[in-house]
Structure 1
């Protein structure tokens, strides 16, 4: 094993730890990632830390800025649009496959989530219930690889952006659209359910992208 290979091996757990911290929201967009602090935390030199940060930069989680070092990368409005386009494709396909396989317990669980949705006046609660509702709808699709891709996409968007999307959309519109999607599922109307889901995601995409553009311009 070469010295470089050793650094890469040591970097793997640091990479995994930092990636999880970014995706969980422990490190927020724009927050600096100081190599000396990370090295002390993991009990290593700065060499594997830099290797881990460079890998995170390649994967789109970290950005190196002049005179600032590594920071957690922030998504631009354009990047959000790209991710949401992918979300439309993946989630509509998942629902298309799921609706014919849904049984009464799936519909009952989705209905229970919608009842819990408005039980608290909290953006964090609404965001959590939103993800849970969509997850319940897609699980009967029978394609674990597709479900894993959807989950990875949500993680890549990160908790900060998910909360921003929830705050921008509010409660009323998403709640009404969720109910309409569920009714289509109950009627086993796959095309209607997919069409409603596509419109639902695209509306959220436009609203959130507009808010991010205003942020970037400000």
Structure 2
């Protein structure tokens, strides 16, 4: 993304005079949703000007995003949006297995008809979506619908934080590599198992579902 584009993004997506927390959330949203591309520079003085604030809350916001792994800082280049490597994607997928499988194990006994219906509606839309750019958002919405009945807020927060480490570029890579046909078959099977209350089979399938994505990314890396 060009310098001008970074400034336009900041101006268009945040009100003036922001506190550090709100400013960090505005930048976090732009990174996760792809409006700030991997490698894009984040200059304090320019962001302060466009956000209508001093450099102090900008500095605090960038420090918070650096702690989350969304921003890198170097003495030569300053702050830039993190470029997520294949190795980092593999690590994030390992975290997905640890967190999400536990959430699913807790959620299955609590899943109500309304939860199943909500997840099935997402899959129906996913089935007919031709645009790979939308698959990642639908995939997240489906999995989130499965985990919500776990009723463990701290666990759900951890899952959401890990998801946000996948910036838009990383999520597009995962969606493109994994494709749609196999993941969707597994999504439908997973939802059927949840509906039938077959907890351990659902957890085993979810584990393999994420492992398949890891293997696909490794295969593409070997091809390069």
TM tier, shorter chain? 0.7 to 0.9
State the TM-score, normalizing by the size of structure 1. Answer: 0.83
Aligned to 1:75: 84
| Preserved contact between residue 11 and residue 48 of structure 1 (Cα < 8 Å) | yes
Conserved 8 A contact 1:77-1:210: no
Is contact 1:80–1:209 with CA below 8 Å preserved after alignment? no
- The match for 1:6 is none
TM-score using structure 2 length: 0.81
Out of 189, 197, 201, the residue aligned to residue 192 of structure 1 is: 201
Higher normalized contact order (CA 8 Å, seq sep 6+, divided by chain length): 1
Give the match for residue 38 of structure 1.
47
Q: Cα–Cα, structure 1 residues 192 and 64, in superposed 2: closer, same or farther, change >3 Å?
A: same
* Structure 2: gaps (5+ residues): 1-17
Q: Does 1:86 align with 2:95?
A: yes
Distance of aligned partners of 1:152 and 1:141 in 2 relative to their CA distance in 1, 3 Å threshold: same
Structure 2 CA distance for aligned equivalents of residues 51 and 194 of structure 1: 40
Structure 1: tracts of 5 or more residues without a match: 1-8
Aligned to 1:5: none
- Contact conserved, 2:31 with 2:168, CA < 8 A, in 1? no
Give aligned pairs, total: 207
Aligned equivalent of 1:98:
107
Larger Rg: 1
Distance 1:51 1:124, change over 3 A: same
> What displacement does 1:164 show?
1.6
CA positional deviation for 1:206? 2.6
Partner of 2:5: none
Q: State how far apart, in whole Å, the 2-side matches of 1:57 and 1:164 are.
A: 22
Per-residue CA deviation, residues 21-43 of structure 1 (Å, 9 max, x unaligned), is: 32332211111112331121133
- Equivalent of 1:201 in 201, 204, 210: 210
Asked if structure 2 preserves the Cα contact closer than 8 Å seen for 1:118 and 1:126, the reply is no
Match of 1:118 among 127, 140, 153: 127
1 CA distance for matches of 2:200 and 2:128?
31
1:136 CA drift (Å): 1.2
Instruction: Look up the match of 1:141.
Output: 150
Per-residue CA distance 1:165-193 (angstroms, 9 max, x = gap) = 11111110001111111121122110100
**Partner residue in 2 for 1:3:** none
* Equivalent in the alignment of 2:8: none
CA RMSD of aligned residues (A): 2.4
